Amino acid sequence: MLEVRDISHFYGKEKILDNISFKLPRGSFTILTGESGSGKTTLLSIVSTLLLQSEGTIIFHNTPKCSIDTMRNRHIGFIFQFHYLIEHLTVMENIKMVTKKSKREILKLLATLDIDTLAHRYPSQISGGQRQRVAIARAIVNEPKYLFADEPTGNLDSKNSKIIFDILRSIKATTLVVTHDSSLILEDDRILTMRDGQLIKG
């Protein structure tokens, strides 16, 4: 379980996040939504250890005690709106770079995302939706306990966006995904909604 307790954040004197608390059950999938400027990226950055909060605590329960750097490197996967793949490396090489796993194991993972036939292509030779699936593969190849994604479908059409969200729902990690696109939310999804730096009910 991941527990967020009384998080507030300031940029200068401006309060951007106001006393936010929630829990993510182990292995759950949760969508963080809300209007542009409501504080989603700031909150996700804090929860995922990329940004240090002004106030409050993040508790990673049942995770071996380790430094925040080890936590970030070993237990957390990240996906961003832009894929950040390395253009002069193939799909396989982009993933091989971040893992000790064998090429065979990587191909197996790529197959689950339906992109195994693209292993030897370069990012410029595949579609936007495929690139984002490669970014997902890279984020989950080391089997992180936690997965965080900020507007991962921001550059994709609605069909590819739905595919990406179905993939994210199927991942075993405790997953928190930011989107402002309510058409991607399903009835059974856990949802956190932000407004003006606060979590609102419903």
Asked whether position 38 contacts ligand ADP by CB under 6 A, the answer is yes
Contact between residue 158 and residue 131 where contact means Cβ atoms under 8 Å apart: no
Q: Are 132 and 94 in contact (CB under 8 A)?
A: no
Sheet of 29-34: strand order equals 76-79, 146-150, 174-178, 29-34, 190-195, 198-200
How near is the Cβ of 157 to Mg ion at its closest, in Å?
Answer: 20
Does position 41 bind Mg ion by CB under 5 A? yes
Q: Does residue 10 interact with ligand ADP by CB under 6 A?
A: no
Q: Which does 39 bind (CB under 5 to 8 A by kind): Mg ion, ligand ADP, none?
A: ligand ADP
- Measured from the CB of residue 83, what is the shortest distance to ligand ADP in angstroms? 18
Query: What is the closest distance, in whole angstroms, from the C-beta atom of residue 190 to Mg ion in the complex?
Result: 19
Tell me, rounded to whole angstroms, the distance of Cα 40 from its chain centroid.
Answer: 12
* Residue 145 interaction partner, one of Mg ion, ligand ADP, none, beta carbon < 5-8 Å per kind: none
Which residue in the set 40, 83, 138, 145 belongs to the binding site for ligand ADP (CB under 6 A)? 40
- Between CA 144 and CA 136, with CA 74 as vertex, the angle to 5 degrees is 40
